[in-house]
């Protein structure tokens, strides 16, 4: 009954979850996880029942970002119980694989020690990925949630397609930096969601400018489409061209990175600070 006519697995809803929104980037290192976790926390701060699912099996960041490293318990139906911090429920492969969580805590505890090598054969990894992904998507006991944020792995490959085939995604948010190359990839990401019939809710421009902590001066570090955002290639212009909402700018700010590293994302760390432009930026995008 779970096969459609074309023989593909039929998309399922995630139990007890009203809406599922994927945060994606076609390129690694653009700040996708940082943005996913801050958006999820911003929604939770507004009283929206929110969870975050880290689907990056080989590079889970959510355990570090939420400072959570315990092992999830199972409920009576053998479903994983999410771990919670700052009022946000979360599930990550990092909680389940001793390797991954050790890697996370090692990097926090002693940045000088290299992460342990993963010597698992590639073929075995492929099988494990599919199984693990299915468990993460279908066997977590979220309880009633208004929104589940999916932190997708970077790229537009098989894992993203599998997720798109397994579950109903209500929308996707694409994270890009102002750099031409990141933006080109972001446009590719847009194409992938279109093929999967997933509405793109909008694009976020991360590291849009550098706000000097001393004088407050804002510098555009990365080329904004040859210095001119009005040119055809800029993030805002691309959004217009694709008919996608531009959701806003997040500044490049050392404190965003520091907050992330110590496991207290900016939305929580600077709660109550009306002057924090970084926090305001995250709240506005959410
Ligand atoms: P991705 O999920 O795209 O691989 P991450 O969210 O892990 O990217 O971010 C990569 C690195 O950049 C992390 O060290 C993170 O703290 C840092 N970072 C992300 N966004 C910002 C920002 N706006 N300002 C400063 N540092 C940032």
ipTM given for this complex: 0.99
- CA-proximal residue: ligand 1, atom 26 (nearest): 257
- CA-proximal residue: ligand 1, atom 6 (nearest): 31
Q: Is residue 130 part of a domain?
A: no
Average pLDDT of span 122-133:
76
Average pLDDT of span 70-87:
95
- CA-proximal residue: ligand 1, atom 13 (nearest): 257
What pLDDT is attached to residue 9?
Answer: 64
Average pLDDT of span 94-103:
63
Q: Is residue 209 part of a domain?
A: yes
Q: Is residue 77 part of a domain?
A: no
CA 49 – ligand 1 centroid, Å: 25
Q: Is residue 84 part of a domain?
A: no
pLDDT above 90 covers a percentage of the chain that reads: 57
User: pLDDT band for position 105 (50/70/90)?
Assistant: very low
Q: Which domain holds residue 265?
A: 17-55+145-285
Q: Is residue 106 part of a domain?
A: no
CA 185 – ligand 1 centroid, Å: 17
pTM check: above 0.80: yes
CA 129 – ligand 1 centroid, Å: 25
Average pLDDT of span 161-176:
93
CA 104 – ligand 1 centroid, Å: 15
Q: What is the CATH number of the domain that holds 238?
A: 3.40.50.300
**With 0-12 CB in 10 A as exposed, 13-18 as middle and 19+ as buried, what is 190?**
buried
Does the pLDDT of residue 99 top 70, yes or no? no
User: pLDDT band for position 109 (50/70/90)?
Assistant: very low
- Answer yes or no: is the C-beta of 252 below 6 A from any ligand 1 atom: yes
User: Which comes out higher in pLDDT, residue 53 or 231?
Assistant: 53
Q: Is residue 62 part of a domain?
A: no
What is the rounded average pLDDT for all residues in the chain? 86
CA 80 – ligand 1 centroid, Å: 28
Q: How far apart are CA 82 and CA 127, in angstroms?
A: 24
Average pLDDT of span 142-164:
92
User: Which comes out higher in pLDDT, residue 105 or 52?
Assistant: 52
Q: How far apart are CA 119 and CA 125, in angstroms?
A: 10
Residues in CB range of 140: below 8 A, 6 or more apart: 14, 53, 79, 80, 81, 82, 91
User: pLDDT band for position 101 (50/70/90)?
Assistant: very low
Q: How far apart are CA 236 and CA 66, in angstroms?
A: 31
- CA-proximal residue: ligand 1, atom 22 (nearest): 252
What pLDDT is attached to residue 84?
Answer: 97
Average pLDDT of span 206-219:
86
Does the pLDDT of residue 108 top 50, yes or no? no
Number of domains in the chain: 1
**Which of these, 197, 238, 183, 214, lies nearest to 30 by C-alpha position?**
183
- Answer yes or no: is the C-beta of 34 below 6 A from any ligand 1 atom: yes
Note the pLDDT tens digit of each residue in 46-74. Answer: 999 999 999 988 889 999 999 998 899 99
Name which of 75-89, 165-179, 207-221 the model is least confident about: 207-221
CA 62 – ligand 1 centroid, Å: 12
Q: Is residue 71 part of a domain?
A: no
Average pLDDT of span 232-248:
87
User: Which comes out higher in pLDDT, residue 150 or 124?
Assistant: 150
Ligand 1: atom nearest CA of 207 is 23
Does the pLDDT of residue 224 top 70, yes or no? no
Q: Is residue 73 part of a domain?
A: no
Name which of 36-45, 107-116, 260-269 the model is least confident about: 107-116
CB hemisphere CA count around 43 (13 angstroms): 21
């Amino acid at each position: 009954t779970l096969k459609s006519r074309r023989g593909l697995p039929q998309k399922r809803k995630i139990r007890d979850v009203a809406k599922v929104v994927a945060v994606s980037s076609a390129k690694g290192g653009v700040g996708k996880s940082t943005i996913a976790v801050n958006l999820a926390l911003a929604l939770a701060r507004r009283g929206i029942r929110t969870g975050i699912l880290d689907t990056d099996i080989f590079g889970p960041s959510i355990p570090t970002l939420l400072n959570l490293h315990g092992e999830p318990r199972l409920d009576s139906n053998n479903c994983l119980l999410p771990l919670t911090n700052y009022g946000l429920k979360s599930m990550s492969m990092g909680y389940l694989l001793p390797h991954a969580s050790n890697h996370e805590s090692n990097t926090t505890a002693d940045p000088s020690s290299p992460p342990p090598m993963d010597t698992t054969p590639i073929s075995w990894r492929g099988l494990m990925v599919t199984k693990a992904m299915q468990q993460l998507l279908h066997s977590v006991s979220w309880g009633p949630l208004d929104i589940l944020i999916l932190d997708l792995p970077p790229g537009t490959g098989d894992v993203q397609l599998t997720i798109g085939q397994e579950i109903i995604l209500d929308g996707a948010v694409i994270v890009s930096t102002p750099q031409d190359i990141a933006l080109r990839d972001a446009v590719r990401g847009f194409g992938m969601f279109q093929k999967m019939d997933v509405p793109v809710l909008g694009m976020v421009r991360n590291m849009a400018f550098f706000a000097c902590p001393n004088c407050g001066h804002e510098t555009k570090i990365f080329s904004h489409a040859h210095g001119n955002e009005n040119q055809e290639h800029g993030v805002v212009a691309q959004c217009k061209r694709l008919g996608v909402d531009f959701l806003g700018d997040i500044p490049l700010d050392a404190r965003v990175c520091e907050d992330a590293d110590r496991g207290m994302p900016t939305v929580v760390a600077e709660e109550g600070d009306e002057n924090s432009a970084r926090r305001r930026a995250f709240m506005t995008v959410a």
